[in-house]
Amino acid sequence: MGNETETDYDKPRQFRVPDSQWLPFEAATKTIHPEGRGARARVLRQFMDWYMRRPGAKLPERPPAGPWSQTDA
């Protein structure tokens, strides 16, 4: 990924997802990456690299079940 670091900022992208998924996703990602900013972005980038079969890419680590595991249905 070049010289990018977790503190580099790229052009913002739009990604539409309901708050009922986005907000719990943030809580879940922060259990794995509690330090720093951008836990959601980090996990999404890891998933994208894996999806595109980039060399060495792996699926992001999943948190244990938590309140985010339940749906409001």
What is the C-alpha to C-alpha distance for residues 15 and 35, in angstroms, rounded to an integer? 23
pTM for this one?
Answer: 0.76
State the Cα angle at 18 between 51 and 46, rounded to 5°: 25
Alpha carbon distance, N-terminus to C-terminus of the chain: 39
Q: Give the start-to-end residue ranges of the domains of the chain.
A: 19-61
Q: pLDDT digit string (tens) for 8-66?
A: 677 888 889 999 999 999 999 999 988 877 889 899 999 999 999 999 999 999 999 99
How far is Cα of residue 29 from the mean position of the Cα atoms in its chain?
A: 6
Nearest 10 degrees: Cα torsion 33, 40, 22, 72: -40
